[in-house]
Structure 1
Amino acid sequence: MKFLIAVIVGALSAFAFQPFGLWPLMPVAFAILAGLVASAPRMRAALALGWGFGLGQFCVGLNWIATSFTYQAAMPAWLGWLAVVLLSLYLAVYPMLATGLAWRIGRRQPIALVFALAAGWILCEYLRAGIFTGFAWNPVGVTLVSTPLRRASGFIGTYGLSGLTVLIGGALWLGMRSLRDAGVTLTVPLAAGLATFLLPHAPDRQGPALRIVQPNIGQDSKWQPGAAATAEARLLSLSGTPGVEPRLVMWPEAAVTAPLEDNRNGAAPFVAQQRAAIVRALGPNDLLLTGGLGVRSTDGQTAAGVRNSLFVFAPSGQLLSRYDKAHLVPYGEYLPMRPILSRLGLSRLAPGDVDFDPGPGPQTLTLPGFGRMGLQICYEIIFSGEVVDRAHRPDFLFNPSNDAWFGRWGPPQHLAQARLRAAEEGLPVVRSTPTGISALVDADGRLLKSLEWREPGQIDAHLPAARAPTPFARFGNLLPLLFAFGLLFVGLWRGREPISK
């Protein structure tokens, strides 16, 4: 019965994430989870409770993954729901480890259990983001993105926010047993909230003009015959008429489906024609940022590899710089264990038999007349602490994305995670997606402008200023890890005290 309660509570907690954003549900869920773990008679029961909680949360919160399978004719749609369940069965191992740690340290002392659970959650989310290429989607701290506490991520990162969420929930549970213990626990979130006042706000000055384009081109029509010409016309139309002021015109990931770089024999004239076509909407001082494909050939005939890239073009069609996506999506951009899985009839979700090659990682590109830009293509933006070249800090982050795969729940969840990257790093974030949600986020993580899901249009705005590098921008995930070990120390210390009733 307790295991079933943990699964149900975990499932309900998923509504704290976007698109519902009912963030108080998450602390309440952790209050219930803490009570269940405290009553567990053995370690095995505590582990099962954490696994059940995670299973319920991931199955509901990641339902959008099933939608992505509907775009690949080679795979039956039901396989998408199987993928959600199988992935959740694995991801639930991390909450399981956190509850096991909490029970081991705090089974005799409730306040020790809460501090150990918060520490374990931080550590396990950090591990989840790195093991087996990592899957950092929906850390529980992202539910605080609509609250002032999001600015605390500038000190303790997203995983630290997850720890605060657990502590708030633990304080609710402790309050039914000991107001003193609840008050002690709440001092940590309160201190984090007060610390945010030490972070300076971004200067109130405007940067270059932006034109963010959202063409509303769905994945189901993207690769149809004649779709490329239709997409090009819509992108050019939404790019608007150039004026006197220089603009950054920003198109989504894979906005252009034909290769924009290709070293195969005879490809150069076609590439030049493509480049000339897409820069027609630019004024003499504008730049175009567009997602596209780069094809690599070793024999001049066949494609040996493809890169998912962001290209920067001058009005002449000259390629000024390029960024290649580094953190690729398993099954979306490459098929793991291809020789085995392809024989079983499985394929990538994206069209094509050639897997994408990974790029070198975070880079800062200099845009003549517009400053320094960091790039994170689509999925890459979810990895806390891995989005900026710290040796060459940019002025802003551009996150071209293709959220057309992600159903109704995925795009708002993706945007929420991008907002936390802004608050962590103290950098504005610009998003352009084909079907939404395109947005402009300031350096405090506030949503300034956005286009709704499935709404064609454009955003005209000026780039907000960055703020001084936050502590997290300087030290990255070392800070949430130190925070976790601090909480763990408190849990171990309090766990040695006599049993409290």
Structure 2
Amino acid sequence: MTRHPRIAALVLGLISACGFEPLALWPVTLAAFALFMGVIWRAPSLKEALFAGWLFGLAHFSLGLNWIQKAFTYQDAMPHWLGYIAPVLLSVYLAVYPAIAAGLAWRYGRSDRLRFGIVLAAAWIVVELLRATLFTGFPWNPLGAIFVPVLELARASRFIGTYGLSGVAVLAATALFLLPAPECRKRAAILAAALAAIGLTGIVRPTPPPADAPRVLIVQPNIDQKQYPTPTQQLRYLETYERLSRTPSPGPTLILWPEGAIRYLLEDGYPRYAYDLAPSRQVRGRLAQLLGEGDILITGADALIFDENQNMVAARNAIFALGPDGQLKHRYDKAHLVPYGEYLPMRAILEPIGLSRLLPGSFDFIPGPGPRNMALPPFGAGAMQICYEIVFSGEVVDPTRRPAFIFNPSNDSWFGSWGPPQHLAQARLRAIEEGLPVLRSTPTGISALIDSDGRLLASVPHKRQGVIEAPLPPAARPTLFARMGNWLAWGFALALILLAVALAPKRR
């Protein structure tokens, strides 16, 4: 490994990705990360440390994001072969962040192994915060997500956020990195004990829902992504949703359908030609027949935008709340859109050379205003986060009005087999951070009911049809993260930097 550090960095990057779902081999990730620290530690120059970090990140993200390939099979305008290199092309950029962290650790931490690990942990927190922000942000698979199977550790995110939890993962790897040096083993034991103490803070008893808690019905129809479903297929899809939603319930029920569940338009006021499948009033009336007194249906559907000449120019990826009277109560528009999925950046340049967005259509979706609640009595206020929005730590809840739960409708059918469990893991982190239950409805999985401590109370497996009917879990008291957000991660990084400064060798 010392003789071939570049190859070692690539191999360790691949191995480190195995800690994320669906493999969830988190001890393997920590071991790979500790060995990667050794590669950086022994780098003969800053340039070599940066390059080793970049190679590690290139392999790490290329494997972890392999599910992106599946998306290219749904758009005829995009060459399918591009799907096999797209994860690598994206990783060329994402690998810059581990490279920066590695370079900072080499430059400022090499006087001492423990100090080296502390600097790397602080740098990793900072680069993950930057990765979540720059160029619209892409925070998928933060390192802290490997701890979701170990909820006692994952619950530290209530105090330091998910990006702070990534720093904890680096510190755990540091304990392993210290072991080969006999003079550092006492420090390794102290660091391991500190991490175990963090785990003890995450031991909590489940809070059962009250006896009179309202019911939720989460529907997963197992309908795969289709480019252009025929009118007959769309009617059959709607009938499937209706059949699964007729489960009798003793009281008011919140029925939850996925993102883009129906292709029918629900709003009035569009040009007549837009209602090629059925009039909006007719569709709403049909859906209202599913609802009893006090029931509410939330479903994904498009909202269209027309110019003054009645030409459709854009759309919004929206979810609508419908009551038993057939009237729309609320609409939420997705704010964090997926680049190259829901809109094509630099369309004027890329479209002429044959590139398009991954989802069918020649127009772009436009973003909504950001986190908003829907008032849904008797279920309480619900925060809406469509699909990919749930991965943005600290951006899922309106900070001025705390909701009772988070609803995350998604369409993960174009995420391959690795994407859905990774998406679910990140939704569980949002539940822990905010102290709120998260309800997920997807067409093909993984639909889930998650309590405010991140427990998976119920789920429908990937590629299976089913429903989840259960009481709505209660919200916990606002966590420290719910009050302060990612300032906690910045504060944790600063504390680590100060500790590294304190450990610096004294100049004589």
Aligned to 1:232: 238
Instruction: State the shift of 1:45 in Å.
Output: 0.9
Q: How much does 1:208 deviate? A: 1.2
Shift of 1:366: 0.6
Deviates more, 1:263-272 or 1:88-97: 263-272
Query: Structure 1: 5+ residue runs without aligned partners?
Result: none
Q: In the alignment, what sits opposite 1:454? A: 463
Describe how 1:32-111 pairs up with structure 2 within 5 A.
32-111=35-114
Q: 153, 163, 166: which is aligned to 2:167? A: 163
- Structure 2 matches for 1:165-314, cutoff 5 A? 165-177=169-181, 178-196=184-202, 202=207, 204-205=209-210, 207-220=213-226, 223-261=229-267, 263-266=269-272, 270-299=279-308, 301-314=310-323
- C-alpha change, 1:185 and 1:241, in structure 2 (3 Å) is closer
Deviates more, 1:293-302 or 1:96-105: 293-302
User: Contact between 1:115 and 1:487, CA under 8 Å: does it hold in 2?
Assistant: yes
Distance 1:466 1:353 in 2: 41
Q: Residues of 1 paired with 2:227 and 2:245: CA distance?
A: 21
- Which amino acid is the alignment partner of residue 34 of structure 2? A
Which range moved further: 230-239 or 170-179? 170-179
Deviates more, 1:263-272 or 1:101-110: 263-272
Preserved contact between residue 102 and residue 113 of structure 1 (Cα < 8 Å)? yes
Q: Which stretch has the larger CA shift, 398-407 or 487-496?
A: 487-496
Query: Residues 26-66 of structure 1, C-alpha deviation per residue, up to 9 Å, x if partnerless?
Result: 21111101111111111011111111111111010000001
Contact 1:50–1:95 (CA under 8 A) maintained in structure 2: yes
Query: What displacement does 1:200 show?
Result: 8.2
Contact map agreement 1:376 1:400 (CA 8 A) in 2: yes
Q: CA deviation at 1:204?
A: 4.7
| Structure 2 SS opposite 1:398 | strand
Residue number among 136, 141, 158 corresponding to 1:154 in the alignment: 158
CA distance in 1, matches of 2:200, 2:14: 32
SS, match of residue 81 in structure 1: helix
Equivalent positions of 1:469-488 (< 5 A) are 469-488=478-497
Do the aligned residues in 1 keep the contact of 2:444 with 2:462 (CA within 8 Å)? yes
CA distance in structure 2 between the aligned counterparts of 1:484 and 1:458, rounded to whole angstroms: 42
**Which amino acid in the other structure matches residue 44 of structure 2?**
P
Corresponding residue number in structure 2 for 1:19: 22
Residues 154 and 429 in structure 2, CA contact (< 8 A), matched pair in contact too:
yes
CA separation of 1:490 and 1:243: change in aligned 2, threshold 3 A? closer
2:8 aligns with: 5
Alpha-carbon distance in 1 for matches of 2:285, 2:241? 14
Tell me the secondary structure at the aligned position of residue 496 of structure 1. coil
Q: In structure 1, give the amino acid aligned to 2:332.
A: Y
Deviation at 1:226, TM superposition (A): 2.1
- Counterpart CA distance in 2 for 1:156 and 1:111 is 21
Q: Does 1:334 align with 2:343?
A: yes
1:391 to 394, 400, 403: 400
Deviations 1:405-447 (A, max 9, x none): 1000000000000000000110000000000000000000010
- CA deviations 1:181-226 (Å, max 9, x no partner) are 21343354234224435x7864653531011000111013663452
- Equivalent position SS for 1:54: helix
CA distance in 2, matches of 1:28, 1:375: 38
Aligned residues, how many? 498
SS across alignment from 1:252:
coil
Distance 1:256 1:37, change over 3 A: same
> Contact 2:227–2:360 at 8 Å: present in 1 too?
no
Query: What letter matches 2:306 in structure 1?
Result: S
How far off its partner does 1:179 sit? Answer: 1.1
- 8 Å CA contact 2:298–2:320 kept in 1: the answer is yes
Distance change in 2, residues 1:188/1:5 (3 Å): same
Q: Which residue of 1 aligns with 2:376?
A: 367
Q: Percent identity?
A: 51
Quick one: which amino acid aligns to residue 239 of structure 1?
S
Q: Which amino acid aligns with 1:175?
A: L
Counterpart contact for 1:26–1:165, Cα < 8 Å: no
Match of 1:379 in 2: 388
Of residues 381, 388, 409, the one that matches 2:418 is: 409
**Alpha-carbon displacement from aligned partner over 1:253-312 (angstroms, at most 9, x marks no partner):** 000112222532335881112222223221122110001111122326211221111100
How far did residue 142 of structure 1 move? 0.4
- Equivalent residues of 1:262, 1:295 under 8 A apart: no
Contact 1:160–1:484 (CA<8 Å) still a contact in 2?
yes
Secondary structure class of the residue paired with 2:217:
strand
Hey, what does 1:423 align to over in structure 2?
Answer: 432
Q: Aligned match of 2:357 in 343, 348, 351? A: 348
Equivalent AA in structure 1 for residue 156 of structure 2: A
Which residues of structure 2 form unaligned runs of 5+?
none
Contact 1:109–1:498 (8 Å) recurs in 2: no
- What is the aligned counterpart of 1:140 among 140, 143, 162? 143
The worse-fitting range, judged by mean Cα deviation, of 175-184 and 330-339 is 175-184
8 Å Cα contact 1:264/1:302 also seen in 2? no
CA contact (8 A) 1:242 1:283 kept: no
* Correspondence for 1:436: 445
Contact map agreement 1:152 1:196 (CA 8 A) in 2: yes
Rate the CA distance shift 1:191–1:244 in 2: closer, same or farther, 3 A. Answer: closer
